[in-house]
């Protein structure tokens, strides 16, 4: 059975990483359009860098929770038949042990050069405008997909959704496309669909089944059932 899992901010909430839409539409005190658009970066790159530099540093203070660990355990059990697509820019899936992970919205621990387009693993700050290790130009930006930009890996994602027998969305509000449309695509291609989320999302009605609760409890239970 081929399983495709889509994760969102809710799976990292119990690790202490703030979600996007649970705090008055603010993201750590910022309006999303002030820090997560190419226009914001053009107007005030220092503010945008400080925001992502803080979040990158914060990764050192958080750890994977039982939901991330359960997905790693599922990969141990079914190997290549599992693909995790995450909208998250943290690295908690990898630190839990998952290897088959696509970061459709990019990664905090990566820098993108606007001059040569090279992506470089990055754990330090970008706000001091370091040179690109590839071309030497000081045009490194956070390697995250901002509003108005094309998500990564869409070709591989749609192939996987097309072949999936089971599609499971975990901890995502269903507010941001294209990810919010994956359930319809997978369902149309013949997959069964399941949502695991704290509260009903904007697309709960499109799933065959939905369970509400904490990801740290729901995901390990669901993985136990599947590996049964
Ligand atoms: N367990 C399960 N679900 C949870 C938990 C939890 N402990 N805590 C919160 N949730 C749920 C919320 O109920 C909400 O539906 O997780 C969801 C988080 O939704 P968002 O904050 O909108 O995050 P996400 O869906 O990942 O956002 C999508 O929006 O701003 C952009 O690029 C950003 O990738 C992000 C995208």
Q: What is the mean pLDDT of residues 170-199?
A: 97
Q: Active-site residue 93, yes or no?
A: no
To test the ligand 1 pocket, which listed residue (172, 182, 200, 202) has its Cβ within 8 A of the most ligand atoms? Answer: 172
Q: What is the mean pLDDT of residues 117-124?
A: 98
Tokens of 78: 């079914």
DSSP state of 19: -
Residue 8 CB less than 6 A away from ligand 1: yes
pLDDT in tens, 205-228: 999 999 999 999 999 999 999 999
Is omega for the bond preceding 31 within 30 degrees of 0, making it cis? no
Q: Residue 20: what pLDDT? A: 82
Distance from C-alpha of 99 to C-alpha of 83, rounded to nearest angstrom = 9
Tell me the Ramachandran region of residue 214: left when phi exceeds 0, alpha when psi lies from -120 to 50, beta otherwise.
beta
Q: What is the mean pLDDT of residues 58-65?
A: 97
Tokens of 189: 């291609």
User: Cβ distance 174 to 180 under 8 Å?
Assistant: yes
Ligand 1 centroid, distance to 11 Cα (angstroms):
8
Q: Residue 26: what pLDDT? A: 62
Q: Would strands 26-27 and 30-31 be described as parallel, antiparallel, or unpaired?
A: antiparallel
Distance from C-alpha of 5 to C-alpha of 167, rounded to nearest angstrom = 6
Q: Would strands 106-113 and 140-144 be described as parallel, antiparallel, or unpaired?
A: antiparallel
Q: Is the pTM higher than 0.95?
A: yes
* b/e 201-217 (16+ beta carbons within 10 angstroms → b): bebbebbeebeeebbbe
pLDDT in tens, 92-105: 999 999 999 999 99
Q: Residue 9: what pLDDT? A: 95
User: Cβ distance 222 to 77 under 8 Å?
Assistant: no
């Amino acid at each position: 059975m081929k399983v495709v899992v889509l994760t969102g901010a809710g799976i990292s909430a119990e690790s202490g990483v703030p979600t996007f839409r649970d705090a008055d539409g603010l993201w750590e005190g910022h309006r999303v359009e002030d820090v997560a658009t190419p226009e914001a970066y053009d107007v005030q790159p220092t503010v945008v860098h400080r925001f992502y530099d803080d979040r990158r540093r914060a990764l050192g203070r958080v750890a994977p929770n039982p939901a991330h660990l359960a997905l790693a355990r599922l990969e141990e059990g079914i190997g290549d038949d599992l693909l995790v697509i995450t909208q998250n820019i943290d690295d908690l899936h990898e630190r839990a042990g998952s290897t088959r992970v696509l970061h459709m919205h990019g990664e905090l621990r990566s820098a993108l050069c606007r001059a040569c387009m090279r992506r470089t693993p990055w754990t330090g700050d970008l706000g001091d405008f370091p040179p690109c290790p590839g071309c030497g130009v000081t045009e490194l930006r956070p390697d995250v997909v901002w509003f108005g930009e094309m998500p990564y890996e869409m070709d591989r994602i749609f192939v996987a959704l097309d072949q999936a027998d089971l599609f499971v969305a975990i901890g995502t509000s269903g507010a941001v496309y294209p990810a919010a449309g994956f359930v319809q695509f997978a369902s149309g291609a013949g997959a069964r669909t399941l949502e695991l989320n704290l509260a009903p999302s904007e697309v709960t009605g499109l799933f065959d089944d939905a369970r509400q609760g904490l990801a740290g409890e729901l995901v390990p239970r669901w993985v136990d059932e599947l590996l049964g």
